[in-house]
Structure formats: structure tokens, C-alpha cells
């Protein structure tokens, strides 16, 4: 061919004679991918040169460039040029936005993932279960032959999927797909910013949500949570869901204020002449101590409403006297000794320990896990910690026990029908597939969980729903009183409710306390795996197997010996005097081995520590020598309880006399002194109104001297918390 440039006529003839074959779909897709890759690389470099510069190139490419220039300059007018340029631009934009196949309307996130090259998004498919998303889209059910139980010692089941893939490959495949999605989103944002536009909303990649759909695993009504093996229907739509930046995951001080606690005043001082009787329900919960510990370890003192002094005291185990048999599930241990923070007052220490016999066979457990998988549970200290915690509980259960799993987010669904612990692999697989996403309709989940518990009800078993949540019931519950009424009615049928709280930022402690109290169960706060082990493994018998229910304590003080008293803690457990003998009034439960401690600070008659003047016209107690000698009564103690299957209460009573009085605090046991140190610490966190000059140094000294045997290090941990709080105190 001549080296001379072609004129227009020759160029036109050459153009008409060229036979350009139609590319295949595969080749066209490969070419487009390469073009996009090259485009992305070039846009990140500084643009150099001109399209009209004669650069070294192959002859065919040079010819086609000249042909394109001639067509644009001589054949098409400016309107066609504008139309073609717009079409090319739109094609590139659509290719970037719709490079993934169709997906559900809502895409939720779980966690941020780093950028990386990855396969295409063809395998990343999600299904929406929320009402806004139009209901759930069915997932293909595995074939029945995959349901054979595994032999012991095998790992989690591996089911064959399309293309020879296994379900164990799903998490890795999903992670690759999410990384690529983030990769393309960031490229698009960079191009827009280079063009002078703002970065698009949802610049950070979103984490797809696994959703529920019917499956043959675990029964015909089980909701199976997994990444599906096949693409969704063509009718599915893509709707991007913005994800907050990494900084949004950090709990700010403003977010911390969203944690909800019941605001109550500390128990006041009562004059015995006016109000000689004190009545309250026992409290074996430990949620307050765990939350306080987390706050202090993160460098902040807790808000006063988060501190319940009795829960801090009852977090620790004490070596109180044990009863002889289960028919009398506990017996009181009483002592009176000088108050560490006020030499003119005394502490009346009342302790009880639930009966526990290792030789007694535990009843069968019929448990339903009611799990919050809403969007607020995505943080690492929420749903991921929840799954690990319940996994430890499953490992402690017996082969005859059963577990069912119900989840709730935008809607509630059954993930696992009641399943024997003999099929532990199926229970663990169901737990491990859970993902967070959606709003929180907790009321629907509670009704479904109770329905499952009752369908597998066993009169001789422990029938219990275990609710695990951050307490953010923001959808589906319009009347908390109605919800508490539902739980109270189910309690009468023999199905109890316990609550495990997780996370910070929107933790609703007040609601969790109300639900647990109405459900005859405990309320615990899980802030670490170690706390999960304590609550669900070490104290599983105490927290799951009640030995007494509706346990109430009543103390009547003798006005001839005691002028004033105040109960330390139990502000949310106060009962009316007449409620003590009313078996219809609900109260706290005690499990096997549980310890309950109550401390009264009392002012003896004639002590200068009296907070108020005696009444001018009231009857003055006569203080005769014979009445204060040995044998005189300070108070009269009564405990009322029901056996687990009983409907009528039983009574334990005894006088508190000089025989229980100790001359000095050094004569008291290490348990009694340590409980006093914890009480002082809790009161200090609430303001320390009655502590006088008893500060952190005195608390630490008292706790150190009374630490005693500390098998699990819990008491040493408390002393370290005191030291941290001392540095944080203003």
C-alpha cells in the first residue's frame, strides 16, 4: 500500500469494502471489561497528548482512526455527534451501575471490608424479608438426601450447590462479591470527583443481608438463612442502601445517651415509728454490674440510672449456709455489724443461697432462642458476640434437650424448629448463618417464640424463651403494657422468659428489665465472651433451673431498738406491705445455687446519726435496760416463696436479735465485708449521698482485705474497677 495519505474518495471506497464481522456476546463482554479496566486506569493518570497527535501505532489502527475522524468531520452533523457521544457515555455509566445482576430492593450492611480484586457479582444474591421489600422471595430448598445426620466429630454439614460449589464456599464468595462492589463504587466516586462532582451517596460499600425463606432443613416451616445458589428472578430490582462511614461505627457520647435506663431515686431513709415494715422482691439479675464494668473500662463513669446497687452486690457469689433439702430451698444468713462509712450506724446483712445438689438430675430443657437480627445488631459486640455466646450454651446442654431459633427484624420467622441437641451441628449451622439487617419488630418475634415453646411443652421440663437483643424495639410494638401482659400470661402457662442484652448506643435496659421481671427470668448484659461463659456456662443451672419463684422478703423493725433504716438498692423491686401475703403478686425467682444479699443501714435508738428529729406528739419508744440486753429483737424477718410447680406460697421467718450482732466489722466474714465494699462502690457511682468521707481509698482497702478466695478473679476485677473509677472521678 502507498505511503501517501488517502484522499476522501479512496478512504470512502476502502471503508465500504471492509468486512467487519459481528462480535460474539462473549467477545463483546470481554472487550467491554478490558475497555472499562483501561478507562479506570487512565482516569487516574494525568491526561497527556492529543487525539490528533501522530503516535506510534499499528497501520490498521491508524487507518481506523482516520476513518473515524473522517466520518465525524464530514459525514455526520453536530446533532448526530452529540447523540452518539451521549449514547456512549450512558452505556459506560449503565455498565458500571448495572454490572451486577438484579438484586433485592433493600441491601443492608454488616461490616466494612477492604478493597480487593474479586470475581463478579453474579454470585452475590440477596433476598429481602421486610414488609417494605414486598415479602420474602423463596430460596431453593436443598435436596432431601442432604439431610442425613452427621456422625459425631464431623464438622458443620457441607451441602452441594450449583456448579460443584459447597455452602462452606458461600461466605468467601460473598466476601469477594462485596469487595468488588466496593471496588466499583469507589472508582465511580473517583471519576465523579475528578469531574468536579460530589461523591455519590452510599460511597462506602454495602453489606448484603441474608434473609429467611422456607427450607427443608429442620422442618417444613424453618426459615433458612444462607446465600442462595441461583440468581434471583428477573423481576427483582436493585436499590442501593447507604452505609455509614467507619467513623459512624464508633459510639459517640451523644449516641451513648440513647441507652435507656429507668430513672429512680435512691431508697430513702424511713422512720421506724412511721413506717416499720419494708417489703421487696428478690433480684438475682447482674446486667447493671456488667454495663458499669464496660463503661468504666472504656474510660467513662456510668450514668447514675445505670447503677443498681443490689445487682452489683449480687453479681458475686457468697458462701452462705445451704438448706438440707429442696423442699426448703434456702435459709437466711443474718449478721449486724458496724457500717464502714458511718460508725454511728450499723449494717443489717441478710443473705440467702439457693439449694443445689449435684446428685440431683437436671430436668430436660425446652429452649427457644429469640434473636434480634435487625440492622442495629450488626456491630461486633452484638450479633457476632450473641452467636458465640449461645454456641457456648448449646455445648452445655444434654442430648435430651431441645433448641429452637426464632429471629425478628422487619418481620419474624422460624429459623429452626425444636431440634434435639443430638443434632447439634444443625443448631450451630443455623446460628452461624444469621446476619443483621432491617428494623426491629420484637413483639411479633415474642409471640412466635412462645408459640414454638408451647408446641414442644413438657410439664416436667424447663420451658424457657431466651431473648437476645440490644432492646431496640422500634417497629411492631406500640403498647409495651400489652407486651408485658402477654409475657405475664405465658408465665402462668409455664413458659418463662430470660433476657440477654448486648451492645451500646441504643441499649434499652429499662424495657429488658420489665420483660425479664414479667417473664420470671433473669436479665443479664453480655459485654464479652468471659461474661457469656459466666452467665450461660458457669451459672447455667442457676439461670435456667428455678428452685423457687415469687420470692419476697419482708422486714419489720422494732421501734424500741431501731429508729431509722434504709434499704440499699432494690429501688425497682419495692412492694407494698399487703403484697407480701398476696400470692397473685409476682416477684423474683431464685435458681439452683443463686445467692441474694440485702443490706439495710439502720440507726439504733439514741444514735446521733438520726436523719430527722423525733415527732413532738408521736409516741416515744421506751428504752429500758432489759429490752436492749441479749435476747432483744432488732427486727423480724419473713421470706415467702413458691416451689417451681406450686401455686401457694410458703413462709420462712425468724427474729433478728443481739445474737446476730457483731462487735466490730473485723468480726464479720470476708463475704460480709466484701459485700459492704461493693455496696459502697455502687452508692459512690450513684452520688454517694450517705457515704460521708468514705472514699475510693477506703473502699479499695476494705475490698482487698475481704477478697478471700477468688477462684475466677471476679473480685480482683472489681478492685481494678474501683481504681479506674478513682482516676475518672472529678
Q: Are 216 and 141 in contact (CB under 8 A)?
A: yes
Helices H / strands E in the chain, number of each: 19, 18
Q: Which CATH class is domain 365-544?
A: alpha beta
Which span out of 67-71, 171-175, 424-428 was modeled with the highest average pLDDT? 424-428
What's the pLDDT band for 148 if we cut at 50, 70, 90? very low
Cα–Cα distance measured from residue 447 to residue 466, given in angstroms and rounded to the nearest whole number: 13
Q: How confident is the model over 380-407, as pLDDT tens digits?
A: 999 999 999 999 999 999 999 999 999 9
- Mean of pLDDT over the chain: 75
Cα–Cα distance measured from residue 304 to residue 685, given in angstroms and rounded to the nearest whole number: 6
Tell which wins on pLDDT, 468 or 227: 468
What does the H/E/C string look like for 23-81? CCHHHHHHHHHHHHHHHHHHHCCCCCCCCCCCCCCCHHHHHHHHHHHHHHHHHCCHHHH
Considering the chain, tell me which residue range(s) the CATH 3.40.50.410 domain(s) occupy. 365-544
What's the pLDDT band for 678 if we cut at 50, 70, 90? very high
Evaluate if residue 641 carries a pLDDT over 70: yes
Cα–Cα distance measured from residue 688 to residue 692, given in angstroms and rounded to the nearest whole number: 8
Evaluate if residue 238 carries a pLDDT over 60: no
Tell which wins on pLDDT, 126 or 672: 672
- Among 3-12, 309-318, 502-511, 682-691, the minimum mean pLDDT is found in 3-12
Evaluate if residue 212 carries a pLDDT over 90: no
Angle between helices 78-97 and 25-43 (to 10 degrees): 90
pLDDT at position 580, please?
Answer: 97
What's the pLDDT band for 444 if we cut at 50, 70, 90? confident
Burial class (CB within 10 angstroms; exposed 0-12, middle 13-18, buried 19+) of 348: buried
Give this prediction's pTM. Answer: 0.66
Residue 714 main-chain phi, psi, to 5 deg: -70, -40
Is 338 strand, coil or helix? strand
Evaluate if residue 293 carries a pLDDT over 90: yes
- Grid coordinates of 516: 425479664
195-204: buried (b, 16+ CB within 10 Å) or exposed (e) per residue?
eeeeeeebbb
Q: Are 525 and 293 in contact (CB under 8 A)?
A: no
Q: Is 163 left (phi over 0), alpha (psi -120 to 50) or beta?
A: left
Q: What percent of the chain has pLDDT over 90?
A: 46
Of the candidates 591, 355, 364, 586, the residue with the CA atom closest to the CA atom of residue 484: 586
Residue 281 main-chain phi, psi, to 5 deg: -95, 145
Average pLDDT over residues 29-33: 74
Tell which wins on pLDDT, 441 or 484: 484
Q: What angle do CA 411, 413, 415 make, to 5 degrees?
A: 140
pLDDT at position 23, please?
Answer: 63
Tell which wins on pLDDT, 353 or 31: 353
pLDDT at position 612, please?
Answer: 83
Q: How confident is the model over 81-92, as pLDDT tens digits?
A: 556 556 656 555
Q: What angle do CA 513, 516, 521 make, to 5 degrees?
A: 135
pLDDT at position 544, please?
Answer: 85
Q: How confident is the model over 325-371, as pLDDT tens digits?
A: 778 899 999 999 999 999 999 999 999 998 876 645 678 999 999 99
Q: Is 203 left (phi over 0), alpha (psi -120 to 50) or beta?
A: alpha
- Grid coordinates of 245: 462511614
Evaluate if residue 234 carries a pLDDT over 60: no
Please report the beta strands in 236-282, taking only residues with DSSP state E, as ranges in sequence order.
Answer: 270-271, 277-281
pLDDT at position 388, please?
Answer: 96
Q: Are 353 and 450 in contact (CB under 8 A)?
A: no
pLDDT at position 644, please?
Answer: 86
Q: What angle do CA 266, 268, 272 make, to 5 degrees?
A: 155
Average pLDDT over residues 611-629: 60
Of the candidates 454, 452, 545, the residue with the CA atom closest to the CA atom of residue 492: 454
Average pLDDT over residues 664-670: 94
Amino acid at each position: 500500500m502507498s505511503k501517501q495519505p488517502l484522499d476522501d474518495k479512496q478512504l470512502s471506497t476502502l471503508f465500504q469494502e471492509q468486512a467487519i464481522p459481528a462480535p460474539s456476546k462473549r467477545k463483546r463482554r470481554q472487550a467491554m471489561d478490558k475497555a472499562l479496566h483501561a478507562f479506570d486506569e487512565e482516569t487516574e493518570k494525568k491526561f497527556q497528548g492529543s487525539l490528533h497527535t501522530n503516535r506510534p501505532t499499528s497501520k490498521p489502527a491508524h487507518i481506523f482512526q482516520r476513518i473515524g475522524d473522517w466520518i465525524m468531520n464530514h459525514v455526520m452533523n453536530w446533532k448526530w455527534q452529540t447523540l452518539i457521544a451521549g449514547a456512549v457515555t450512558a452505556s459506560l455509566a449503565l455498565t458500571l451501575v448495572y454490572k451486577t445482576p438484579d438484586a433485592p430492593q433493600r441491601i443492608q450492611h454488616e461490616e466494612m471490608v477492604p478493597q480487593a480484586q474479586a470475581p463478579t457479582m453474579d454470585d452475590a444474591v440477596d433476598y429481602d424479608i421486610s414488609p417494605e421489600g414486598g415479602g420474602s422471595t423463596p430460596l431453593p430448598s436443598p435436596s432431601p438426601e442432604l439431610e442425613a445426620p452427621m456422625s459425631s466429630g464431623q464438622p458443620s454439614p457441607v451441602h452441594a450447590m450449583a456448579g460443584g460449589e459447597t455452602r462452606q464456599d458461600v461466605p468467601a464468595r460473598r466476601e469477594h462479591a462485596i469487595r468488588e462492589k466496593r471496588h466499583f463504587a469507589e472508582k465511580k466516586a473517583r471519576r465523579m470527583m475528578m469531574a468536579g462532582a460530589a461523591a455519590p451517596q452510599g460511597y462506602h460499600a454495602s453489606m448484603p443481608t441474608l434473609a429467611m425463606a422456607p427450607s427443608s432443613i429442620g422442618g417444613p416451616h424453618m426459615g433458612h438463612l444462607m446465600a442462595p445458589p441461583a440468581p434471583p428472578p428477573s423481576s427483582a430490582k436493585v436499590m442501593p442502601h447507604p452505609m455509614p462511614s467507619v467513623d459512624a461505627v464508633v459510639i459517640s457520647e451523644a449516641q451513648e445517651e440513647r441507652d435507656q435506663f429507668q430513672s429512680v431515686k435512691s431508697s430513702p431513709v424511713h422512720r421506724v415509728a412511721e413506717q416499720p415494715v419494708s417489703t421487696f422482691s428478690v433480684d438475682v439479675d447482674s446486667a447493671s454490674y456488667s454495663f458499669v464494668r464496660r463503661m468504666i473500662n472504656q474510660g467513662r463513669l456510668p450514668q447514675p440510672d445505670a447503677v443498681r446497687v443490689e445487682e452489683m452486690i449480687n453479681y458475686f457469689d457468697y458462701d452462705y449456709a445451704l438448706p438440707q433439702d429442696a423442699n426448703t430451698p434456702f435459709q437466711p444468713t443474718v449478721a449486724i455489724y458496724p457500717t464502714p462509712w458511718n460508725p454511728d450506724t450499723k449494717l443489717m446483712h441478710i443473705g440467702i443461697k439457693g439449694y443445689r445438689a449435684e446428685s440431683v438430675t437436671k430436668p430436660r430443657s425446652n429452649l427457644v432462642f429469640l434473636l434480634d437480627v435487625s440492622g442495629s445488631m450488626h456491630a461486633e459486640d452484638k450479633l457476632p458476640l450473641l452467636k458465640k455466646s449461645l454456641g457456648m450454651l448449646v455445648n452445655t446442654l444434654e442430648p435430651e434437650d431441645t433448641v429452637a431459633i426464632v429471629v425478628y427484624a422487619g418481620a419474624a420467622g422460624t429459623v429452626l424448629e425444636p431440634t434435639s441437641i443430638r443434632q447439634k451441628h444443625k443448631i450451630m449451622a443455623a446460628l452461624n448463618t444469621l446476619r443483621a439487617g432491617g428494623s426491629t419488630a420484637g413483639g411479633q418475634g415474642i409471640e412466635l417464640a412462645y408459640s414454638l415453646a408451647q408446641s414442644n411443652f413438657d410439664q416436667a421440663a424447663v420451658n424457657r424463651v431466651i431473648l437476645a437483643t440490644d432492646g431496640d424495639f422500634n417497629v411492631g410494638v406500640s403498647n409495651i403494657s400489652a407486651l408485658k401482659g402477654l409475657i405475664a400470661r405465658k408465665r402462668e402457662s409455664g413458659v418463662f422468659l430470660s433476657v440477654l442484652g448486648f451492645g451500646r448506643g441504643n441499649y434499652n435496659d429499662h424495657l429488658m428489665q420489665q420483660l425479664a421481671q414479667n417473664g420470671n427470668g433473669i436479665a443479664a448484659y453480655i459485654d464479652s465472651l468471659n461474661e457469656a461463659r459466666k452467665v450461660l456456662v458457669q451459672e447455667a443451672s442457676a439461670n435456667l433451673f428455678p428452685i423457687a419463684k415469687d420470692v419476697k422478703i419482708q422486714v419489720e423493725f422494732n421501734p424500741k431498738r431501731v429508729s431509722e433504716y434504709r434499704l440499699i438498692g432494690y429501688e425497682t423491686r419495692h412492694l407494698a406491705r399487703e403484697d407480701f401475703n398476696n400470692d397473685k403478686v409476682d416477684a423474683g425467682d431464685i435458681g439452683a445455687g443463686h445467692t441474694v444479699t440485702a443490706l439495710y443501714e439502720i440507726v439504733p435508738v439514741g444514735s446521733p446519726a438520726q436523719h430527722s428529729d423525733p415527732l413532738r406528739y408521736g409516741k416515744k419508744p421506751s428504752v429500758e435496760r432489759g429490752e436492749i440486753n441479749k435476747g432483744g429483737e432488732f427486727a423480724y424477718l419473713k421470706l415467702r416463696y413458691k416451689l417451681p410447680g406450686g401455686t401457694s406460697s410458703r413462709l420462712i421467718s425468724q427474729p433478728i436479735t443481739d445474737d446476730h450482732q457483731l462487735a466490730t466489722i473485723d468480726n464479720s466474714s470476708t463475704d460480709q465485708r466484701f459485700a459492704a465494699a461493693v455496696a459502697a462502690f455502687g452508692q459512690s457511682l450513684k452520688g454517694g449521698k450517705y457515704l460521708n468521707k468514705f472514699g475510693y481509698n477506703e473502699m479499695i482497702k476494705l475490698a482487698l482485705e475481704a477478697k478471700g478466695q477468688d477462684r475466677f478473679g471476679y473480685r480482683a476485677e472489681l478492685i481494678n474497677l474501683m481504681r479506674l473509677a478513682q482516676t475518672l472521678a472529678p
